[in-house]
Structure 1
Amino acid sequence: MPELIPQPRYARFAPDGGACVLDDPLLDAGPGTEGTARWLRRELGAATGWDLPAPEAGHADGGRVVIRLALRPELARGAGAESYELRVTRERVLLEGADPAGLFYAAQTLRQLLGPEAHRRAPATPDRRRRLPVGEVRDAPRFGWRGLMLDVARHFMPKDGVLRYIDLLAAHKLNVLHLHLTDDQGWRIEIKRHPRLTEVGAWRPRSRWGHRASPLWNETPHGGFYTQEDVREIVAYAAERHVRVVPEIDVPGHSQAAIAAYPELGNTDVVDTAALQVWDDWGINENVLAPTEAVLRFYEGVFEELLELFPAEVSPFVHVGGDECPKEQWRASALAQERIRELGVDGEDGLQSWFIRHFDGWLAERGRRLIGWDEILEGGLAPGAAVSSWRGYAGGIAAAEAGHDVVMCPEQHVYLDHRQAGGPDEPMPIGYVRTLEDVYRFEPVPPKLSPEAASRVLGAQANVWTEVMENQSRVDYQVFPRLAAFAEVVWSRLPEPGERDYADFEARMGAHYRRLDVLGVDYRRPGGPLPWQRRPGVLGRPMEGEPPNV
């Protein structure tokens, strides 16, 4: 049986090994299938040399195999959104989707069935013939939110790298790219009304080499940002591949890069904010936004431009961070203390909640939904806000039981910056050991949830924090192959929880490693890191013990 990842809901192939032999096939694209047709001509055409012309009306196909694309909305009634069916006989190939996304995933399955060589950018052999196994696939995703959070603030990933990751997400039937665009160490998106955010905030003078306990420094300045035109391109590129881009702008913590650019954003009665630079270290920074109306107006301007770049139809959610906000400066600030009295909130924690509630309402008035890390639960949320549960499952359970939508991304399970093995060769080891099998056994819906609350789990995402990932190769190493395991968790539906067959998945990964090789992914090999993937002598932050139970 073909080795598909993620595993489809139903697949049956001819026991006799029967195949459809494709040699410059025709592509018959029905109404509404134009996007997938373009993708097939571009991607499969490049890999095989096929032109994939449309059949000529009134003419026979001349014995050539016809690949037919069709939308069949009635599939959604039984299998749900993004579902598809793929049928292969010796004479033809039929791809049907409940919607354009489902049809696109059928095309991704078709590419996998054609073998690793179908992932190339140009033919590696003059033989244009390809064999496709005769059979049928019926498939649909388990969750509607199947995501990856990519931190481009700590180490900037150039636009081409982001586009590449969108293709990798699509190849694994993932549909959300959460871009962490701002933090203490860098501001990565152009805001035209506040140009110093990128003129100053996008650049830091140096970076710590390794975890914050490391005595080593990389003295090369680091930075970069996406122009608004870049962002529009990223969003459009993702939309063509049925990937939603969720932007994150952090408030009120993780904001030193913004304060370095505009010192008046900080707590100026406590700190000489004019002396601050973009932070060159890792960890939780004490420099947070001042709780003033001027700061709110500043960030409203930021979000106004952001909403223009991320249209509601492709990016309904806006992430505001809301995590890890130290309160020491607010405790010491006479201005902040007066603000607490004016607002009548419950101390500094109430002040943080006031920040989040303000933007919750502001975004809702503009037809968007706020999402933030689970600290935003402290102080209460408006009904439409959603929660990214990262500090274990507890925040997600509390949010779901309170009627909020939840994206599960617990650090102990799906933080892909955590090390993949306990040996000394792992580069800059961070966090818990989380193997490929550990990620494969992640369950997004905690058993403690009531059925009603469980329906609030939109899905899950894997998070990639890049403090110790200085380039694309390092990101690849941490993300793959574990993202393939995660993709199967959020796509493939099980009869009962806990029934995942890791031995079967591991066997199917044999073919998937060859796909990753062809795609140029610098993944971690099953036997451990290759020599150039190690970082000897650079300290990480390993954790001892096991995470708390669900």
Structure 2
Amino acid sequence: MNLIPAPRGIERTGGTGPWTGEVRARTDPSLPPEGYRLAIGPDGADITGGTEAGVSWARQTLRQLLGPDAFRRAPVEGTAPEVPFAVIEDAPRFAWRGLMLDVARHFLPKDDVLRYLDLMAVHKLNVLHLHLTDDQGWRIEIGRHPRLTEVGAWRRRTRLGWGEPARWDERPHGGFYTRDDLREIVAYAAARHITVVPEIDVPGHSQAAIAAYPDLGNTDVIDTSALEVGTAWGICPNVLAPTDRVLRFYEEVLEEVLEIFPGRFVHIGGDECPKDQWRRSPVAQARIAAEGLDGEDGLQSWFIRHFDRWLTARGRRLVGWDEILEGGLAEGAAVTSWRGYAAGIAAAKAGHDVVMCPRQHVYLDHRQAPGDDEPVPLGWVRTLADVYRFEPVPPALAGTPHAARVLGAQANMWTELTESRDRVDYQLFPRLCAFAETVWSDLPPPAERDAAGLLRRMDAAHYARLDALGVAYRPPDGPRPWQRRPGIRGRVKHGPPPQE
């Protein structure tokens, strides 16, 4: 039936017939929470979902069966579509089926975020991880600290690609979401049974915040008043100072975050935090001594543990990038394992929940093919078939009790090199379609997966659905002329990615 993601079970009950348009839906708690049973016959469709989420996923399956025109925003003239008479029983493999969208490096307007929620729903993805703050921009309005968006949401120029000599887009870039914008995004997501996980990065990736409020930085080491919102890419040396003032500032930020985002998880980053300023800072060294910490790694862990306790006291759970393992993992924290599988394996064996998102497999900002035509090529080559062979549960956990600690997986879309919705579309699709199947469907081991069958289903039906949705995906035979970015250098990694 060319469905994506592929369902667990399909029983053909007859031929096909014209669609009557009648849908009868109910819930049955004996089914898995997101599971459903969809029965299509001459008189319409009967949907039974474990919850309303299951009903919603069944409707997405029915929508696919109605043909590409079902994905247009308004009906087109023509005869009623033919639908197959069948019974489909389905439920997801993982509870966390996510997309991380970086809106800090390049701001995406609210309507673009809402559109990506629609595209996630089509593919039965249910977690949007919004990367809201970084060195190059702060994207969430905080009432008690208005300079975070007055200053931190804007940079004076933007580096184009990588390599030397540097090239620049001299236009200022920025933007932010008001609190009501974000409430709208959360409500829009909830109506599609998607949870939004906000990320407020500490203690690294914080230059935009320090540019807005210089006393957040290590003022005993550098003149933080001279800092501006980051304009280039890479790991920035300017990190938060380990002071009570900084802790309270971010508590006030998070108090407003919790008012906007009702979900259980709050992401606090914790990644790529250079320690040089702390090594040179008398204030940081005094904190290490006073707390009896194991050096600068212990100081990073002290930051994370503070917010782990703070969030736990308010009924929430901290999740962070796998660097939060350095210096000791915070009690109760979950890990997004990005540098490979190793950190996720260690965290799961230690009794912590894990979301797998290894850069070797599901970093969708990485290039999709070798050659010079790929726009601003980055990282390793990860084709549609490569992403289809991604397995969230690594062999070291498979078949053990620790496998239950893998909540699921997410694909990560970093936007240093994707300055517009069309550029993000190109990087995400069609690979996000393959990823969606790996986290929803019961697939065989990676070496046995039918990647050719996925490509046939894409060609037979799903590209036409993406066309109807207006997605500027990468065509299977390469980028269209207007999708190329000649003259802007990327940063590629050669050879197969290491298996960590």
Q: Same fold (TM over 0.5)?
A: yes
CA contact 1:154–1:466 (8 Å) conserved in 2: yes
CA contact 1:412–1:432 (8 Å) conserved in 2: yes
Question: Which of the numbers 50, 67, 73 marks the counterpart of 1:121?
Answer: 73
CA pair 435-22 structure 1, distance change in 2 beyond 3 A: same
1:137-176 paired onto structure 2 within 5 Å: 137-176=88-127
Task: Provide the rounded CA distance (Å) in 2 between the counterparts of 1:452 and 1:96.
Answer: 31
- The answer on 1:352 being equivalent to 2:349 is no
Once the two structures are superposed, residues 349-376 of structure 1 have per-residue CA deviations (whole angstroms, 9 ceiling, x without a partner) of 1111100000000000000000000000
Shift of 1:378: 1.2
Identity %: 67
- Counterpart AA for 2:307: F
Shift of 1:22: 2.7
Q: SS at 1:146's partner residue?
A: strand
Question: Which of the numbers 388, 391, 401 marks the counterpart of 1:452?
Answer: 401
Shift of 1:451: 1.1
Task: Provide the rounded CA distance (Å) in 1 between the counterparts of 2:48 and 2:189.
Answer: 21
CA contact 1:428–1:540 (8 Å) conserved in 2: yes
The number of residues matched between the two structures is: 498
Question: Which of the numbers 15, 20, 23 marks the counterpart of 1:67?
Answer: 23
Shift of 1:133: 1.0
- The answer on 1:503 being equivalent to 2:459 is no
Task: Provide the rounded CA distance (Å) in 2 between the counterparts of 1:212 and 1:270.
Answer: 29
In the alignment, structure 1 segments of 5+ residues that lack a partner are 26-65
CA contact 1:20–1:91 (8 Å) conserved in 2: no
Shift of 1:328: 0.7
Q: Which moved more, 1:81-90 or 1:302-311?
A: 81-90
Q: SS at 1:134's partner residue?
A: strand
1:36-185 paired onto structure 2 within 5 Å: 66-76=22-32, 81-125=33-77, 127=78, 129-185=80-136
CA contact 2:288–2:295 (8 Å) conserved in 1: yes
- The answer on 1:461 being equivalent to 2:460 is no
CA contact 1:412–1:547 (8 Å) conserved in 2: yes
Q: Residue 530 of structure 1 aligns with which residue? A: 480
1:183-332 paired onto structure 2 within 5 Å: 183-211=134-162, 213=164, 215-311=166-262, 315-332=263-280
Shift of 1:231: 0.4
Shift of 1:495: 5.3
What CA RMSD, in Å, does the superposition of the two structures yield over aligned residues?
Answer: 1.2
In our comparison, the structure showing a higher alpha carbon Rg is 1
Shift of 1:497: 5.7
Q: Residue 430 of structure 1 aligns with which residue? A: 378
Q: Residue 336 of structure 2 aligns with which residue? A: 388
Q: Residue 335 of structure 1 aligns with which residue? A: 283
Task: Provide the rounded CA distance (Å) in 1 between the counterparts of 2:474 and 2:357.
Answer: 22
Task: Provide the rounded CA distance (Å) in 2 between the counterparts of 1:128 and 1:158.
Answer: 37
CA contact 1:197–1:261 (8 Å) conserved in 2: yes
Q: SS at 1:254's partner residue?
A: coil
TM-score by length of 1: 0.89
CA contact 2:134–2:206 (8 Å) conserved in 1: yes
Q: Residue 9 of structure 2 aligns with which residue? A: 10
Task: Provide the rounded CA distance (Å) in 2 between the counterparts of 1:419 and 1:214.
Answer: 22
Q: Residue 16 of structure 2 aligns with which residue? A: 19
Q: Residue 29 of structure 1 aligns with which residue? A: none
CA contact 1:212–1:282 (8 Å) conserved in 2: no
CA contact 1:494–1:500 (8 Å) conserved in 2: yes
CA contact 1:212–1:281 (8 Å) conserved in 2: no
- The answer on 1:480 being equivalent to 2:432 is no
CA contact 1:400–1:406 (8 Å) conserved in 2: yes
Task: Provide the rounded CA distance (Å) in 1 between the counterparts of 2:496 and 2:168.
Answer: 31
CA contact 2:362–2:412 (8 Å) conserved in 1: yes
CA pair 495-480 structure 1, distance change in 2 beyond 3 A: closer
Q: Residue 355 of structure 2 aligns with which residue? A: 407
Once the two structures are superposed, residues 214-269 of structure 1 have per-residue CA deviations (whole angstroms, 9 ceiling, x without a partner) of 52100000000000000000000000000000000000000000000000000011
Shift of 1:337: 1.1
Q: Residue 35 of structure 1 aligns with which residue? A: none
CA contact 2:68–2:464 (8 Å) conserved in 1: yes
CA pair 426-135 structure 1, distance change in 2 beyond 3 A: same
